[in-house]
Chain A
Amino acid sequence: DSGVTQTPKHLITATGQRVTLRCSPRSGDLSVYWYQQSLDQGLQFLIQYYNGEERAKGNILERFSAQQFPDLHSELNLSSLELGDSALYFCASSPRGEGTEAFFGQGTRLTVV
């Protein structure tokens, strides 16, 4: 158990809909990362928050947004969903966000039908 909790574990939704994925980082970790893994591909970095503020942005679509709340949990919002958005979405956390190892949650499997 990495200490990072992601909910829900599975999500099935229709095209055009909007979903919210939730991540609770390890206790004390200030940095939260979101990654997308499609069809056995590599991990694509989406976005990173540090202590409530956006720190780095990767290949995140404009239809996607994220935030980190004062209690440090984070949410990834995906809207106007398309079939190609079906993927595993991982959240990771690290203590200071300074390039040290990140600890991953078990992921949310999103299926868009």
Chain B
Amino acid sequence: DQQVKQNSPSLSVQEGRISILNCDYTNSMFDYFLWYKKYPAEGPTFLISISSIKDKNEDGRFTVFLNKSAKHLSLHIVPSQPGDSAVYFCAASELNNNDMRFGAGTRLTVKP
């Protein structure tokens, strides 16, 4: 069962513009959400997270928004840079549980 969904397999944006990556989840028990970035031939690396008590978390060019009623979160990257080109995975977990669930990933390409 796909409890975390990233419906866009790929996204292409121009350098300097905003990249918006979306993620939907079905399990209302999830209360902690994360974004990971993955380059080819490397393991995923943690990017940013948000707990369900917040609706926004910002870290430099990266902002994650959480809409609990819609069971939706998004990652905004502003401004996008060519080095941001990677696969981005959304993940969700329950704070007192341990099986972090991942989406299928979205491949972001930032064109110079």
CB pair B34–A56 under 8 Å, yes or no, is no
With CB as the reference atom, state the residue of chain B lying closest to A46.
Answer: B99
CB pair B97–A103 under 8 Å, yes or no, is no
Q: A58 vs B42: C-alpha distance in the bound complex, in angstroms? A: 23
B25 partner residues in chain A, CB cutoff 8 A = none
Query: How would you classify the secondary structure of chain B's contact residues: helix, strand, loop or mixed?
Result: loop
CB pair B97–A104 under 8 Å, yes or no, is no
Interface size on A, residues (CB 8 A): 29
CB pair B43–A99 under 8 Å, yes or no, is no
Check if A52 is an interface residue, CB within 8 A of chain B: no
CB pair A43–B89 under 8 Å, yes or no, is yes
Check if B98 is an interface residue, CB within 8 A of chain A: yes
CB pair A99–B41 under 8 Å, yes or no, is no
* Interface 1/0 per residue, A88-99 and B, CB below 8 Å: 001010000111
Which listed segment binds A: B12-20, B71-79, B101-109? B101-109
Residues A50 and B43 in contact in the complex (CB < 8 Å), given A42-B6, A42-B105, A43-B89: no
Cβ 8 A contact of B102, one of A2, A42, A100, A101: A42
Report B's interface with A, CB cutoff 8 A. Answer: 6, 31-32, 34, 36, 41-46, 49, 89, 93-105
